[in-house]
Amino acid sequence: MGDGDNGQMRPIDELARDLPGDVLVTDQDVMDGYRRDRADLVGAGMPIAVARPTRTSQVSQILRWASACRVLVVPRGAGTGLSGGANAIDGCVIVSLERMDAVCEINAADQLAVVEAGVINADLERAAREHGMFYPPDPGSFDISTIGGNIATNAGGMRCVKYGVTRDSVLGLEVVLVDGRILRTGARSIKNVAGLDLTSLFIGSEGTLGVITAATVRLRPAPAAHPAVFVASFSELPAAGDAVALIAASGAAPSMLELMDNQTINAIEDYRRMDLDRSAAALLIGQADGPDALAHAEAMAARCEQAGADYVACTQDPGEADGLIAARRLAGHAVLATGPTLVEDVCVPRSKLAQMLRQIEQIADDAGIRVATVGHAGDGNLHPVLLLQGTDQAARDRALAVAQAICRAAVAHGGTVTGEHGIGMLKREWLPAQLDRTAIDVHNRIKAALDPGNLLNPGRGW
């Protein structure tokens, strides 16, 4: 990078001069790998640079510079998002936290860990297991997504039916504000009501209020015995929703309760043979952990039979149980491998799950678009994946219309337009179906207070 035509140093050159030589990247080929997340239908701009800091002080330095020069900043984790929330904006600097990947502390006595934002979810899980603990949040991308990105979108996952979403496992944060100041929120204690809950404010904020650089998170003791797993097969998709409602009404506490429809089952089998029943309209895969896990799994399987399941099986054999869970974890990879997709993310009350599944089928049939539905059924959280024939403008418009109809149906059932993926760029226009003017005004006031220049990930979230 050299001087400008007038002999004066450009602002980006000033930042490069003040940072270690390997932090700032302006090579076009390298930057292309940071321009977008996994949302196929969301556009991406061209950054002027990608910053890959290795410590919080460098993030602070970058944001002080961005504020002084009024340059837009797009924070980024691993780019596994599905709503365009980390896509580049023309002229921005992307701040990737990938190199801030230290597990700073595992404290089994206090059941917590301190990690930098770039730590991979699965790496934290492995580190915790060495101390007899585990980290509950496990989004579908757990083997490649970062803790910082999980926090920025309040990610969920398969275990959240019992253990909650990411917010429920975060005790405190380190956040760099737009002016470069470093904010530390929360405490290491279980209880803490000192001041406003600033930790929760930043969780799910999608990089619009500050850049999360580290977190103190809750851990839980690993179950002494291997979990028990059941699988139930249904000849009609809505019947699986009825089974979920019966399980919820019974007071059962599954540690996982996952749904896959026929399109998803076949996508998995095409991707990798897992010996799933290709003819099933739906499969429910549930898990119970803790004492009497097998008895709890069998009780939930009995509810599935009550709802009309044509096949049920339970196992506590580690190989069989892990194989069923592995099949479910493949769903996202398998469906995305089919070609262009639009991955939806809606959530409804569990009592409305069967109705929502019927509506998704009807909306898809009316539009002539194939939809593969997979989801965290125990939460009422569904991911209808639209399988697209192309990404030309007509195909995009049709897909977006279907996605919007699905979101409106979820809100009509008392649910939400996003359960765990966030709003990003994809769903901004659909958010007013759920949030009224007063709620959006409050969001805007908070944004203006923390980022008066609208430099942090503008146009995302709301």
Read off the pLDDT of each residue in 176-180 and give the average, rounded to a whole number.
Answer: 98
pLDDT category, 1, cuts 50, 70, 90? very low
- Whether 282 has a pLDDT exceeding 80, the answer reads yes
Q: Give residues with Cβ within 8 angstroms of 326, minimum separation 6.
A: 274
Per-residue model confidence (pLDDT) at position 462? 82
Q: Give residues with Cβ within 8 angstroms of 452, minimum separation 6.
A: none
Question: Smallest Cα–Cα separation from 156: which of 190, 192, 203?
Answer: 203
Question: Smallest Cα–Cα separation from 337: which of 369, 372, 383, 363?
Answer: 372
Cα–Cα dist 167/75, whole Å:
19
Cα–Cα dist 281/144, whole Å:
30
- Whether 240 has a pLDDT exceeding 90, the answer reads yes
- Other C-beta atoms within 10 Å of 434: how many? 17
- Whether 230 has a pLDDT exceeding 60, the answer reads yes
Catalogue all structural domains in the chain, each as residue range(s) with its CATH number: 11-96 (3.30.43.10), 103-221 (3.30.465.10), 223-333 (3.30.70.3450)
Cα–Cα dist 209/443, whole Å:
11
Alpha helices, DSSP H only, in 272-352? 293-306, 318-329, 331-336
What pLDDT digit, counting tens, does each position of 123-164 carry? 999 999 999 999 999 998 999 999 999 999 999 999 999 999
Per-residue model confidence (pLDDT) at position 24? 97
Residue 211 has, within 13 A of its CA and on its CB side, a CA count of 40
Q: Which residue has the higher pLDDT, 20 or 4?
A: 20
Q: Is 400 left (phi over 0), alpha (psi -120 to 50) or beta?
A: alpha
Per-residue model confidence (pLDDT) at position 6? 59
Per-residue model confidence (pLDDT) at position 4? 47
Q: What angle do CA 323, 327, 331 make, to 5 degrees?
A: 165
Q: Which residue has the higher pLDDT, 459 or 6?
A: 459
Question: Smallest Cα–Cα separation from 95: which of 211, 239, 244, 225?
Answer: 211
The full DSSP string for 212-226 is EEEEEEE-EEPPSSP
Per-residue model confidence (pLDDT) at position 34? 98
- Whether 3 has a pLDDT exceeding 60, the answer reads no
Per-residue model confidence (pLDDT) at position 272? 96
With a pLDDT cut of 90, the percent of the chain lying above it is 94
- Whether 284 has a pLDDT exceeding 70, the answer reads yes
Cα–Cα dist 404/160, whole Å:
25
The distance from CA 255 to its chain's CA centroid, rounded to whole angstroms, is 18
DSSP class of residue 8 equals: P
Per-residue model confidence (pLDDT) at position 2? 42
Counting every residue, how long is the chain?
462
Per-residue model confidence (pLDDT) at position 11? 87
Q: Is 147 exposed, middle or buried (0-12, 13-18, 19+ CB in 10 A)?
A: buried
Per-residue model confidence (pLDDT) at position 461? 87
Buried b / exposed e along 380-395 (16+ C-beta atoms within 10 A):
bbbbbbbbbeeeeeeb
pLDDT category, 391, cuts 50, 70, 90? confident
Question: Smallest Cα–Cα separation from 113: which of 147, 87, 141?
Answer: 147
Which pTM was predicted?
A: 0.94
- Whether 251 has a pLDDT exceeding 80, the answer reads yes
State how beta strands 282-288 and 228-234 pair.
antiparallel
What pLDDT digit, counting tens, does each position of 51-97 carry? 999 999 999 999 999 999 999 999 999 999 999 999 999 999 999 99
Cα–Cα dist 181/360, whole Å:
46
